[in-house]
Structure 1
Amino acid sequence: MIRTRAVGDTRAIAHVPRRVVECVVLGLWLALAVLWELTCPLDDEGDGLVRRTVTCAAFLMAVGYLLTGVRRGPARELREARAVARATQDVLLRPLPPSIDGLTLAARRLSVSQGADVGGDLYEAVATPYGVRIVIGDVRGHGLPAIGAVAAVLGSFREAAYDEAALDGVLRRLDRAYQRRLRDLARQEHPAGGGREPENPAAEEFVTVLLLEIGADSDVRALNCGHPWPFRLGQGAAVPLTAGEPLPPLGAFPLPDDLAPHLCGRLPPGEALFLHTDGAEDARDAAGRFFGLQDALVRTLSGQPPGVPVSPAHVARQVHTALLRHTGGRITDDVALLVLRNDRGARGDRARVPAQSGEPALRRARSEPSRR
């Protein structure tokens, strides 16, 4: 028969022998100090001073040990809680792969809540039979209270992106998932409703969403619900990728019957898209000046050598650093940055990105197709 035991019980039992030994040693030390104080005769003042000094040292050591033990327990629990929180955040807003289906990715995020990486912003990118699909969004509010809505939208996207052949079907699935979230919140806030469906569930709650689809031909299609449009990066320029008037955010109004995705043109090999949440553009410094996101992108691209593709990791890192420098590290809203570069060739295969200077020539020669 296999016996199992709860993890918490196992930890408690593992700590019992050590605690028992520590308590026994401490008790013996104090007992010896007190016994010596009581049994030693008072010959002169020097012996009395020595005894008092030894007794005081014994009690001070005991008190110091007790204080250390009291502090050590909560510190260990805090470390364990942070480890669990980190694992939960990575599952909810998992790190993006460095590349996916011929696209190179890089992302950065900032949360208003101290000690948290996940707030009210969300992003995800998946490779599907219909192309690479990307979502970036911003839940009303920020910090830890918005995580529930982030989980609802991301969980729905990770399923709908594979199941729905059309991009509008993905958006409708996200809307239904978010509406269920709002109804659950309304029931929690008004439990006296007897389980009836609320007429206007959490009317002040909403989430902005930008859906992108990059097909095998590198054409970009988009559906935008109240989210900032991305920037197209290339040739030292950062141009807003606008494709019509955005729809209202999810949760504010019902989706219209006609949800035709906008065709935003083709993303040539070597060019990139910079996606962001409004926390980047709304960030202010101590004087109240807004952060110049487009100017920061242009400055970053101006340092790129001619003919070298945009580096997503470099762009995300530079903008992230400039944003913290502008605000002095005191942000008032969550921020998410996502950069993706097209490394595909003209026929949809991976483009040959120039090798780094330190790469051996033999490796570069083997990576290129043979020529007759």
Structure 2
Amino acid sequence: MIRIKAGVPRRAGRPRTDTRAPGHRGLPSWLRGTSRPRRRRLRRALALGLPTAWGAVAVTYKLACPLAQQNGLGARAVSSAVFFAVGTGLICYVRHGLLRELRKARQVADAAQSVLLRPLPPRVDGLNLAAAQLSADHGATIGGDLYDVVATEHGVRVVMGDARGHGLTAIATAAAVLGSFREAAHDEAELDGVLRRLERALARHLRERARAEHPSAGPEPENPVAEEFVTVLLLDIDRDGEVRALNCGHPWPYLLSGTRVEPLANAEPHPPLGLFPLPHDLPPVRCGHLMPGETLVLHTDGAEDARDARGRFFSLHTALSEAVRDNLVAGPRVVLGSIFTALLRHTGGTPADDIALLVLSNDRQGRRPSGARGSDTCGSAAGARPATTNPQPTTHL
């Protein structure tokens, strides 16, 4: 299931489509004037009343109808039809109730997932945004992938990450990391301080899971905590477009500048969080400037690890190059739609791993910083230009 996480918020002052009182929404007219305890009792009575009525009809027919006492073929056929109708009615009633409860459960799940991976605004401090996620689990809208964009007094800070595996365990890990980022992005003046806060939050989460999954409290856990890790990419974008990055085992994003598609950096990333402690010295990688009109495409490894029926990997670089060649780079949402269309076509609509994409473009108006090149990429903290601009897809942790 693909979920687009950016959209235009509802205009202030727009009239509500449902003008009923909050406590009466979705109620029939004959229940709106009653109190909640009375409505609850009435609903319970109705829930029991219909099956009781169907059963009474069947018993009455069997005991009181003369036709039910006959042994002829016609009488037996009529009796069978009556009991078949009663049984079908009961099954349909139970099915309707189960579907109603399932819809409510899905609404609650969607609300909880939207709180965790909240929809991004279409614009943050002069940057246009669009993001989407495809979960490998049927019925889920999120998985172990995480991302967020926050405007702070220190600049616009971006996180993209991928927790090991997918499912509820990966979602809980992603929630711990995202919650820490949303606080640390505002509190920490330097990017390395944000990353260290994320490392401490992940360590606390894993300790709590270890206590809950200890063998003394039950069977051996299927996913040992010692094997858990999260890849994290942090970006800091200043007002003048300068980009600084810290990368822990995550794929580098792609920079779209004119007709060129190249990785933002080719520096060796640090190990993923959770496997090894962070080094004492964490200088951010300086990645030049994101100039007006340029676009960054952040992604998780599920995009480049997606395979078709013949086992061939999906080439995200090629898909982006085709989008640039076809003049599709008109906005983040257009880029996002183009990539996901190519991904689903490549995988036949059934990817085996969670996939998340975050596209942001610089729409700020201003002069070009002196000495800055909009297409600059970096290979180290010194800001060296990468040796190649057409890398082959690789498999990441």
Q: TM-score range by the shorter chain?
A: 0.7 to 0.9
Q: Which amino acid aligns with 2:152?
A: T
Residues in 1 aligned to 2:109 and 2:204: alpha-carbon distance in whole angstroms: 25
Residues in 2 aligned to 1:10 and 1:137: alpha-carbon distance in whole angstroms: 49
1:225-264 alignment to 2 at 5 Å?
A: 225-242=248-265, 244-264=267-287
Q: Who is 1:341 aligned against?
A: 361
Residues in 2 aligned to 1:88 and 1:217: alpha-carbon distance in whole angstroms: 36
Change (3 A) 1:54 1:155: same
Change (3 A) 1:38 1:312: same
1:275 to 280, 298, 305: 298
Q: Who is 1:284 aligned against?
A: 307
Q: Does 1:212 align with 2:235?
A: yes
Q: Who is 1:360 aligned against?
A: none
Q: Which amino acid aligns with 1:327?
A: T
Residues in 2 aligned to 1:106 and 1:68: alpha-carbon distance in whole angstroms: 43
Q: Which amino acid aligns with 1:336?
A: A
2:46 to 9, 13, 18: 18
Change (3 A) 1:8 1:113: farther
Change (3 A) 1:14 1:219: farther
User: Are the equivalent residues in 1 in contact too, given 2:54–2:90 (CA < 8 A)?
Assistant: no
3-state SS, counterpart of residue 352 of structure 2: coil
User: Are the equivalent residues in 2 in contact too, given 1:129–1:162 (CA < 8 A)?
Assistant: yes
User: Are the equivalent residues in 1 in contact too, given 2:51–2:90 (CA < 8 A)?
Assistant: no
2:88 to 52, 64, 70: 64
3-state SS, counterpart of residue 208 of structure 2: helix
1:114-263 alignment to 2 at 5 Å?
A: 114-190=138-214, 202-242=225-265, 244-263=267-286
Q: Write out per-residue CA displacement over residues 22-75 of structure 1, whole angstroms, 9 at most, x where no aligned residue.
A: 245434533542354349998xx9xx6665554333322211111112322322
Q: CA deviation at 1:148?
A: 1.0
Residues in 1 aligned to 2:77 and 2:229: alpha-carbon distance in whole angstroms: 68
Q: Which amino acid aligns with 2:350?
A: R
3-state SS, counterpart of residue 224 of structure 1: strand
Q: Which amino acid aligns with 1:329?
A: G
Q: Which amino acid aligns with 1:285?
A: D
Residues in 2 aligned to 1:55 and 1:21: alpha-carbon distance in whole angstroms: 23
> Which ranges in structure 1 are unaligned for 5 or more consecutive residues?
1-6, 194-200, 349-372
3-state SS, counterpart of residue 336 of structure 1: strand
Q: Write out per-residue CA displacement over residues 320-360 of structure 1, whole angstroms, 9 at most, x where no aligned residue.
A: 11111111122121111010000001159xxxxxxxxxxxx
3-state SS, counterpart of residue 203 of structure 1: helix
User: Are the equivalent residues in 2 in contact too, given 1:110–1:336 (CA < 8 A)?
Assistant: yes
User: Are the equivalent residues in 1 in contact too, given 2:295–2:362 (CA < 8 A)?
Assistant: yes
Change (3 A) 1:36 1:132: same
Residues in 1 aligned to 2:100 and 2:68: alpha-carbon distance in whole angstroms: 43
Change (3 A) 1:11 1:276: farther
Q: Which amino acid aligns with 1:66?
A: L
Q: Who is 2:393 aligned against?
A: none
Larger radius of gyration: 1
3-state SS, counterpart of residue 225 of structure 2: coil
Change (3 A) 1:144 1:11: farther
Q: CA RMSD in A?
A: 2.6
3-state SS, counterpart of residue 265 of structure 1: strand
Q: Write out per-residue CA displacement over residues 143-177 of structure 1, whole angstroms, 9 at most, x where no aligned residue.
A: 33211110100000011011111111111100000
Residues in 1 aligned to 2:62 and 2:277: alpha-carbon distance in whole angstroms: 79
Q: Write out per-residue CA displacement over residues 275-294 of structure 1, whole angstroms, 9 at most, x where no aligned residue.
A: 00111111111111110110
Between the two proteins, the alignment pairs up a number of residues equal to 328
Residues in 1 aligned to 2:68 and 2:94: alpha-carbon distance in whole angstroms: 34
Residues in 2 aligned to 1:190 and 1:40: alpha-carbon distance in whole angstroms: 63
Q: CA deviation at 1:205?
A: 1.4
Q: Which amino acid aligns with 2:160?
A: I
Change (3 A) 1:10 1:217: farther
User: Are the equivalent residues in 2 in contact too, given 1:291–1:323 (CA < 8 A)?
Assistant: yes
